[in-house]
Homo-oligomer: A and B are copies of this chain.
C-alpha cells in the first residue's frame, strides 16, 4: 500500500484544519510523532475574512487554502479527507467515514457553528455565515435579490428585496454591515442603473445597548458613527423574537420586512460533537482541564471554539485557537518526555474590527486606535496570517486593485438552476 506505515512513532491525530489544528500541527514539526490531520474539507478556511466573501469582496481562494499544500514541506503530516463519526477513548480509536483511525494522542478542534438560541424560525429562514459554503450561498442570494428587484415593478416588494437585516452587533455583524453597504453604494449602484439605491437598506440589529460590546465604549461609539455614515441603520437594544420567511419580528411586535436575514448573533459547539461521547458543557462545547486535556482521557486535548475552560471565559477568536493549539502540541511533547503538562494562559494580542474601506478599530490594553491607522494594522495582520504565499499575494493584489478602482470581486451568480444541475450531474 502507498500510505506510509510507520508504526514505530506515536500518531497524533488532529481533527479539524482550523486555526487550532494548523498551529498544533506546525508546533509538532520536529516532534518524534506522525501527525494525521483529518478534516471533512480539503482546505483551511480563514474565518475572519469570510464576511468579505459574502460581500463579494474576496473570492473563495483568498479565504481558503488546501491543507495538503500548507503541509507540503512538513513531512511528518499526512492528511485524511473524512468525517469523524465517533471517538472511542478506551480503544484510542476515531471512527470516521473512511474507517477507523488509531491514535496515541488526539487533538480535537472541530470549531463551532451558528447558535440560533432557539429563536423560532431562525434556523429555517436566516442565513448563517460560518463556512465557505455559507459565504458563497449568501453572496449568491444577495446578488439574486438585486436581479429580482431590477425587474420588479411593485415598490413595496422591491423594498423587501432590497432590505438586508443583520442580526448581531459583534465584530462579524459590524464588519459585514460595513462591507455590504460599500458593495451596494459602490459597484452595485453602477451595475443597476435602473434601481434607485435609496430603496436599499442595510439594518444591523443588536440586542445590547452598543455594538462591539467586548471593545472599549469609545471604540463602539466610533464604529457606530462610522456605520451610520455608510448609511447602515443601527437598531440597538432591539431583540429578534422570531424570524419569518419575509423578515423578523422584534420584541414589542414590530415587524421588519426583508428577503434577507443574516444571523451572526452567536456560536455554539459543532453538533457533530454531540455524538462523540465527550463531556459537553454549555453551548455544546467540551469542558476541559486547565491543560486542555479531557477529564479521564489525558491523551485527548480539545482546543479552539469547541473547548470551554471553566475558570477562564475566552472569546471565540482565532488567536485563542492558535495559542491553544500550540499549548496542546507542547503538552503532547511534555507527555512524550515524561514532563508535566502546563496550564493554558491566554495572552490577548489585541482586538480589531474593520468598518468599511480604510477604517477600523483596534484595542489592546490601554492602546486604542481608530480610523486609517487601525485599518492598515488590520490589513497587515490579516495578510500576514493568511496561510500560504500565494494567498497573501492574491489578497494583496485584490485589495490594491479594489482600493484603486473601487471595484469588487467578480460577483458571479451561481443561479439556483445551475447549482442544482451541478449537484445532480453525477
> Which residues from chain A sit less than 8 Å from chain B, CB to CB?
1-4, 40-43, 59-61, 64-66, 68-69, 72, 75, 78-81, 83, 98, 131-133, 136-137, 141, 143, 147, 150-151, 153, 158, 187, 190-196, 389-391, 393-394, 397-398, 401, 405, 407, 409-423, 425-426
Contact = CB atoms under 8 A, between A and B. Distances in A.
A51 B337 CA distance: 52
Contacts of A66: 191, 410-413
B153 A69 contact: no
A65 B132 CA distance: 21
B98 A409 contact: no
Contacts of A416: 423, 426
A195 B419 contact: no
Q: How many of these chains are in the complex?
A: 2
Contacts of A192: 68
B2 A81 contact: no
Contacts of A193: 75
B3 A60 contact: no
Contacts of A394: 397-398, 401
Contacts of A151: 3, 80, 98
A422 B419 contact: yes
Nearest to A192: B68
A141 B422 CA distance: 12
A42 B415 contact: yes
Contact of A42 (B42, B137, B413): B413
Nearest to A67: B191
B417 A40 contact: yes
List the 4 closest A-B pairs by CB distance, nearest first. Answer: A61-B410, A1-B153, A68-B191, A42-B413
Contacts of A194: 2-4, 78
A1 to B, nearest CB: 4
A98 B417 CA distance: 14
Contacts of A2: 150, 153, 158, 194-196
